[in-house]
Amino acid sequence: MNILVKVGIVGLGHMGQLHMLNAMRVDGVDVVAGADKSEKNRKYAERFHVKTYDDYSKLIDAGELDAVVISLPNFLKKEAVFYAAEKGLDIFLDKPISRNLAEAQKMVGKVEKENVRMMVGVNYRYFPCVQKLKNKLENGEIGDAVIATSELVLNGPISHAVVPVPVPEWWLSKDLAGGGALLDLGYHLIDILCWLLGGFDVDYSSLGHKLHLPVEDAGTIVLKSKGTDVTGIVNVGWFSKSIFPEFNFRINIHGTVGFVSTDHYIPGDPRVNAVKEGLLNLMRRVAMKKLSYLSYTYYYSSFYKIIEAFFDALKSGSEFPISLEEQLDVMRIIDSAYRLNEFQISLEKQLDVMRIIDSPTLSPK
Amino acid sequence: MAKVVITSVKNQPFASSEIDSAVEKAIDNLNYDFRSINNVVIKPNLCYYWTASTGETTDGRVVCAIIKYIRERIGNDVNITVAEADASAMRTKFAFSILGYDELCQKNNVALKNLSEGNVIAKTVKVGKAEVTLPFNEVLLNADLIINVPKLKTHNFIGVTCAMKNIFGSISKPRKYAYHNNIVNVIVAANKIVKSDIIVVDGLIVRGSCPKKLGVVMTSDNPLTNDFVAARIMSFNPKKVPYLNLAAKENVGETKNINIIEDGVKLAEIKKSFPHYSHRIHSISWGLQLKMLRAYTAVSGDVLPPFLEK
């Protein structure tokens, strides 16, 4: 096999490990090395004969790479992107692009200045149900879209793994994470709505703190399209205990002719789907054909597909399927939603003060 | 004769006043002697960041009811501490806030203690022929009265989790997952070192195959006795639950002559309503699925998500 792209994995945590395993299966890609502070994570990569470093600067400075996959906590992303860009490496970056809009703009400015390319891993676009929904919409089968509702309610970082480990504390810090459920989960929904229906502005934003965290654990935002009069509703939450394979995600688009929902296309029983897809892959293996990686998990196959799309674009020199302008637009919407929520809270406080002043006990007789 | 009192809060959504009244009746029925008590520790089950609505953690309203009861029976000057230790995946500094215990303790003017911090004393006890050494916080060891407030729920590893397992949760060492290979001995040892004086089981929302609002409040004066009854409610044979069986052999409590007081609710009714769950079937099924998955990925070359591999 000809090696066309030599890649390094920056951050070998759960997502970095998955990207590493996926990248190893893409034709023409050589996973040269990985970097992580954690010895346990490095040992995991070494099991797959991947050379490791305890610092990503050593990995990048070794000078063996064409590209990096950056899978780091939000507060470390900017520094790593800057470092890789200065060394002329193309970048695949886990979503969200950054903690806030200003940081995202600096990162995009940097990759443009250094003349390297970067793609953000918004893998939800690659869910089979989302792709089918997009086809229906583009074929005009529901007419003109008028209202789009989207939901993603999971446990977020508050998930109890098979082998219990504490939630990394950066997740629960506004400074380090940049935000909560809206930035983590809303990012996917907003990205998909913009991708399917064009640009939006924020009309309403209400963020909740049911779990008393410094970051929001619930949120509803209402979006208005910039010209097509489509209303988009985004509901997100980190408050649910549900775990995979339960997956509380859906997008419904109501049009002038009919409606379409991702619920129409997801497998009824995840276990039956796993057996079916597994058998198909075994047949592909016997026939020496390419596997449909992770299709037995349904949702996880999107991680393979998006990283394959990244490497395919690098190999062919074509445009990335996900542009940085789109990702800046997502961050602009999220930034507006945070600001609007704060404004609404301060307005409500002022109204409360006015209600107290106007109350009969304080009013002049 | 050991005593277990079962009562219930009938009307949803379980008003605080009704919980107060159920807790008061249930503890009163134990006829506990509250003389000479200065330091009280209340140990809820805050195993993770899941709210009481999931049936996994102790409802703060039950703890509030106990605080009111203690102040009424013992006096306003009694020192009350609500205490929980860090766990393998849970940090109390977050759990206290997420689950509303910070606010609860502030409002009720009681102390809130992370049992993993401060003075920890290693205690050794014999379980069978083995010696088991476990670290416990002095706040717990020096208490005049320990009120154990567990949940009524099933557990994937050990089947039944109620009063005895809640004391396992009070071990100071955060990474209690390390004890899982020897969990039967460790649970029994923990309960030999830390003696629960009163158990108030929060069965408002129980957890078996799913959470269910049962509105049950159960009290006892012995954790093993309590758990024998709890196991029956959850359709387990307590003699076949290894740590209960071992605890019975080690005389942790009475298991034969139990005086069950059914106050306005029948044990049989609760048992019937409990969302039964077979952890054995779950374990076998989950283990089998993982083995099949590993075999499939090894043969096909497909990816096994790292979180399933560990």
Model pLDDT for residues A36-67, shown as the tens digit of each residue: 999 999 999 999 999 999 999 999 999 899 99
**Quick one: average pLDDT of B188-208?**
97
Interface residue of B54, B302, B308, B310 to substitute, partner A, most A CBs within 10 Å:
B302
- Give the residue on B whose Cα is nearest the Cα of A292: B302
Range in A328-337, A342-351, B144-153, B229-238 with the lowest mean pLDDT: A342-351
Strands B145-149 and B130-137: unpaired
Residue B123 has pLDDT above 70, yes or no: yes
Q: How many CB atoms lie within 10 A of CB B17?
A: 11
User: Is residue A1 very low, low, confident or very high in pLDDT (cuts 50, 70, 90)?
Assistant: low
Nearest to B306 among A14, A25, A281 (CB): A14
- Give the residue on A whose Cα is nearest the Cα of B95: A211
User: Which amino acid does the sequence have at B11?
Assistant: N
Top pLDDT among A3 and B167 is at: B167
**Quick one: average pLDDT of A14-35?**
97
Q: Which two tokens stand for residue A29?
A: 């890609």
Strands B211-220 and B198-207: antiparallel
The pLDDT score that the predictor gives to residue B142 is: 96
Tens digits of per-residue pLDDT, B52-102?
Answer: 999 999 999 999 999 999 999 999 999 999 999 999 999 999 999 999 999
Length of chain A: 365
C-alpha of B305 from chain center: 33
Q: Chain B contacts of A14, Cβ < 8 Å?
A: 306-307
**Quick one: average pLDDT of A71-98?**
98
Tens digits of per-residue pLDDT, B100-112?
Answer: 999 999 999 999 9
Q: Which residues contact A318 (CB under 8 A, 6 or more apart)?
A: A312
Q: What percent of chain A has pLDDT above 70?
A: 98
* Predicted ipTM of the assembly: 0.89
**Quick one: average pLDDT of A121-129?**
98
B87 at the A interface (CB within 8 A)? yes
Nearest-CA distance A284 → chain B (Å): 9
Give domain limits for chain B: 2-276, 278-310
Q: How many CB atoms lie within 10 A of CB A49?
A: 8
Residue A363 has pLDDT above 60, yes or no: no
- Chain A residues within 8 A (CB-CB) of chain B? 14, 17-18, 21-22, 25, 44, 158, 160-167, 172, 210-213, 239, 241, 271, 278, 281-282, 285, 291, 293-294, 296-297, 300, 304
Q: How many CB atoms lie within 10 A of CB B195?
A: 14
H helices within chain B, ranges in order?
16-28, 60-73, 92-98, 101-108, 138-141, 163-168, 183-193, 223-233, 242-249, 267-273, 279-300, 306-309
B13 at the A interface (CB within 8 A)? no
Question: Can you tell me which residue has the tokens 């299709």?
Answer: A295
Q: Which residues contact B48 (CB under 8 A, 6 or more apart)?
A: A160, B56, B57, B87, B89, B90, B95
Range in A112-121, A341-350, B88-97, B118-127 with the lowest mean pLDDT: A341-350
Residue A364 has pLDDT above 60, yes or no: no
**Quick one: average pLDDT of A118-128?**
98
Return the SS3 of B130: strand
Q: How open is the CA angle A47-B90-B47, to the nearest 5 degrees?
A: 120
Tens digits of per-residue pLDDT, A94-112?
Answer: 999 999 999 999 999 999 9
**Alpha-carbon span B136 to B83, nearest angstrom:** 12
Return the SS3 of B217: strand
User: Is residue B186 very low, low, confident or very high in pLDDT (cuts 50, 70, 90)?
Assistant: very high
**Alpha-carbon span B300 to B310, nearest angstrom:** 20
User: Is residue B310 very low, low, confident or very high in pLDDT (cuts 50, 70, 90)?
Assistant: low
Q: Let me know if domain B2-276 sits in CATH 3.40.50.11440.
A: yes
The pLDDT score that the predictor gives to residue B179 is: 94
**Quick one: average pLDDT of B129-144?**
97
**What are the C-alpha distances in Å from A207 to residues A219, A305, A348?**
4, 32, 14
Residue A365 has pLDDT above 60, yes or no: no
Residue B221 has pLDDT above 80, yes or no: yes
Residue B293 has pLDDT above 70, yes or no: yes
B307 at the A interface (CB within 8 A)? yes
Rounded mean pLDDT of chain B?
Answer: 94
Listed by number, the residues of chain B in 160-199 with a beta carbon closer than 8 Å to a beta carbon of chain A are 177
Q: How many CB atoms lie within 10 A of CB B59?
A: 23
Instruction: Determine contact, residues A312/A302, Cβ cutoff 8 Å.
Output: no
Beta carbons of A164 and B102 less than 8 Å apart:
no
Beta-bridge mates of residue B114: B84
Nearest-CA distance B190 → chain A (Å): 21
**Alpha-carbon span B228 to B4, nearest angstrom:** 10
Instruction: Determine contact, residues A301/A126, Cβ cutoff 8 Å.
Output: yes
**What angle do the packed helices A187-197 and A128-138 form, to 10 degrees?**
30
